[in-house]
Amino acid sequence: MNWYEKLNQYFPVEEMKSKEHMETLLKERGDIYHKDEGEHHVLMYAELDDFIFIDYLFVAKTARGQGLGHKLIAKLKELGKPILLEVEPVDEDVLDTGKRLKFYQREGFQHAKAIGYRRKSLATNEVNPMEILYWSPDDATEEKIYEAMKKTYLLIHTYKDKEFYGKKYQDVQDVLSINDRDDSKDIFEDLN
């Protein structure tokens, strides 16, 4: 099974980029977009000057619990930049959603409670809410994480979107929001 098939079988359709989109990012944006692939994992990520965005992290079921995910995250942490990613909210019917959050919590990631993310999927035409998680070696503010997510959305998620999907994704200001209040529920609370 090739790298794209592994990702496509694991991630929901509303979160998946097309294979053409990802291959084009690797070819045309290879200065920032990378693939780390092994027998039991696929890691797709963007490294910019001031942050890293994990687009997809897949570890095969047969290799889970052996420290592979930790090693991949540790390798990114060695770069000394904030690391951010999107994760779907916990769904009691999908066991991996809770396990995924526990993994990132063990790895020291925080929940960006002030950042909202609601993108309409071009595959399903439904709004897909996501949570933003981040790890920072220098205690980055949520405002900094928000700006990095906006940059990710523009450089990665919507790169040539009309060419690949026949229509454009929503404008960044319609997808990402930030509020100054920190009264949002922390998604990690339900895990403990």
Report residue 77's pLDDT band, with 50, 70 and 90 as the boundaries. Answer: very high
pLDDT confidence of residue 58: 94
Provide CATH code, domain 3-191.
3.40.630.30
Distance CA(47)–CA(53), nearest Å, equals 7
Q: What is the DSSP string of 15-29?
A: GPPPHHHHHHHHHHS
Token digits of residue 127: 């709004």
Q: What is the pTM of this model?
A: 0.91
Domain segments of the chain: what residues? Answer: 3-191
CA distance 156 to 94: 27
Q: What pLDDT is stored for residue 89 in this prediction?
A: 77
- Asked whether the predicted pLDDT for residue 16 surpasses 70, the reply is yes
Q: Binning pLDDT at 50, 70 and 90, where does residue 183 land?
A: low
Per residue in 93-118, pLDDT (tens digit) is 666 666 888 899 999 999 999 999 99
Could you tell me which of 36, 78, 82 has the C-alpha nearest to residue 57? Answer: 36
Residues in contact with 31: Cβ distance below 8 Å, sequence separation at least 6, in sequence order: none
Question: How confident is the model at residue 112, as a pLDDT?
Answer: 94
